[in-house]
Amino acid sequence: MKYDYLIVGSGLFGSVFAHEAKKRGKTCLVIEKRNHVGGNVYCENVDGINVHKYGAHIFHTNDKKIWDYVNSFVEFNRYTNSPIANYKGELYNLPFNMNTFYQLWGVKTPEEAKQKIQEQVKKLNINKPKNLEEQAISLVGEDIYNKLIKGYTEKQWGRKATELPAFIINRLPVRFTFDNNYFNDKYQGIPIGGYNTLIDKLLEGIEIKTDIDYFKDQEKWNSLAEKVVFTGKIDEFYDYKYGKLEYRSLKFEHSRLEQENYQGNAVVNYTEREIPYTRIIEHKHFEFGKQSHTVITKEYPQEWSLGKEPYYPINNDKNKEVYNSYKAESNNEEKVIFGGRLAEYKYYDMHQVIASALSRVKKEFND
Ligand code: FAD
What's the complex ipTM? 0.99
Quote the CA–CA distance of 66 and 298 in Å, as a whole number.
Answer: 31
Quote the CA–CA distance of 26 and 4 in Å, as a whole number.
Answer: 6
**pLDDT number for residue 367:** 82
Percentage of the chain surpassing pLDDT 90?
A: 94
Q: How far is the CA of 134 from the centre of ligand 1 (A)?
A: 33
**pLDDT number for residue 99:** 98
Q: According to DSSP H, which parts of 125-266 are helical?
A: 132-140, 142-144, 150-157, 195-202, 218-223, 234-237
**pLDDT number for residue 169:** 86
Q: How far is the CA of 201 from the centre of ligand 1 (A)?
A: 18
Ligand 1 atom nearest the C-alpha of 40 is: 2
5 touches 225 (CB < 8 A): yes
- Per DSSP, the three-state class of 254 is strand
Mean pLDDT of 111-126: 92
Exposure of 42 in the CB half-sphere (CA atoms within 13 A): 15
Q: Is the peptide bond before 95 cis (omega within 30 degrees of 0)?
A: yes
Quote the CA–CA distance of 41 and 20 in Å, as a whole number.
Answer: 19
Looking at residue 339, its amino acid is: G
Ligand 1 atom nearest the C-alpha of 31 is: 20
pLDDT higher than 90, residue 6: yes
Quote the CA–CA distance of 208 and 289 in Å, as a whole number.
Answer: 31
Mean pLDDT of 29-41: 98
Quote the CA–CA distance of 117 and 78 in Å, as a whole number.
Answer: 33
248 noted as active-site residue: yes
Helix-helix angle 350-364:12-23, to 10 degrees? 40
Quote the CA–CA distance of 219 and 360 in Å, as a whole number.
Answer: 24
Q: Across 66-70, 123-127, 131-135, which has the greatest mean pLDDT?
A: 66-70
Q: How far is the CA of 316 from the centre of ligand 1 (A)?
A: 21
Quote the CA–CA distance of 249 and 303 in Å, as a whole number.
Answer: 6
Residue nearest to atom 8 of ligand 1 (CA): 39
Quote the CA–CA distance of 38 and 195 in Å, as a whole number.
Answer: 8
Rg, C-alpha atoms of the chain = 22
The residue from 154, 246, 299, 344 that is catalytic is 299
Ligand 1 atom nearest the C-alpha of 54 is: 34
301 touches 241 (CB < 8 A): no
The per-residue pLDDT for range 157-168, each reduced to its tens digit, is: 999 999 998 988
Question: Taking every pair of C-alpha atoms in the chain, what is the biggest distance, in angstroms?
Answer: 70
Q: How far is the CA of 128 from the centre of ligand 1 (A)?
A: 37
- Tell me the best of 57, 239, 250 to mutate to test the pocket of ligand 1, counting ligand atoms within 8 Å of each CB and taking the most: 57
334 noted as active-site residue: no
The per-residue pLDDT for range 163-189, each reduced to its tens digit, is: 998 988 888 889 999 999 999 999 999
The per-residue pLDDT for range 54-65, each reduced to its tens digit, is: 999 999 999 999
Confidence of residue 118 (pLDDT cuts 50, 70, 90): very high
**pLDDT number for residue 280:** 98
Chain-centre distance of CA 154, in angstroms? 19
Residue 83 phi, psi dihedral angles, 5° rounding:
-65, 155
Cα dihedral 290, 292, 282, 274, rounded to 10, equals: 150
235 noted as active-site residue: no
Mean pLDDT (the chain, rounded): 96
Residue nearest to atom 4 of ligand 1 (CA): 11
Chain-centre distance of CA 293, in angstroms? 26
Among residues 332, 321, 349, the alpha carbon closest in space to that of 13 is found at 349
248 touches 299 (CB < 8 A): no
Return the CATH architecture of domain 3-77+190-243+313-364: 3-Layer(aba) Sandwich (3.40)
Mean pLDDT of 284-299: 98
Identify the burial level of 123 via C-beta atoms within 10 angstroms of its C-beta, where 0-12 means exposed, 13-18 middle and 19 or more buried. exposed
Taking residue 247's Cβ as centre, other Cβ atoms within 10 Å add up to 22
34 noted as active-site residue: no
**pLDDT number for residue 124:** 82
157 touches 249 (CB < 8 A): no
Q: How far is the CA of 264 from the centre of ligand 1 (A)?
A: 28
Contacts with 339 (C-beta within 8 Å, 6 or more apart), sequence order:
13, 14, 17, 229, 230, 231, 356, 357, 360
341 noted as active-site residue: no
Ligand 1 pocket (Cβ < 6 Å) reads: 8-14, 31-34, 39-41, 55-59, 212-215, 231-232, 250, 311, 340-342, 348-351, 353
**What residue segments make up the domains of the chain, in order of their start?**
3-77+190-243+313-364, 95-168
Residue 312 phi, psi dihedral angles, 5° rounding:
-115, 125
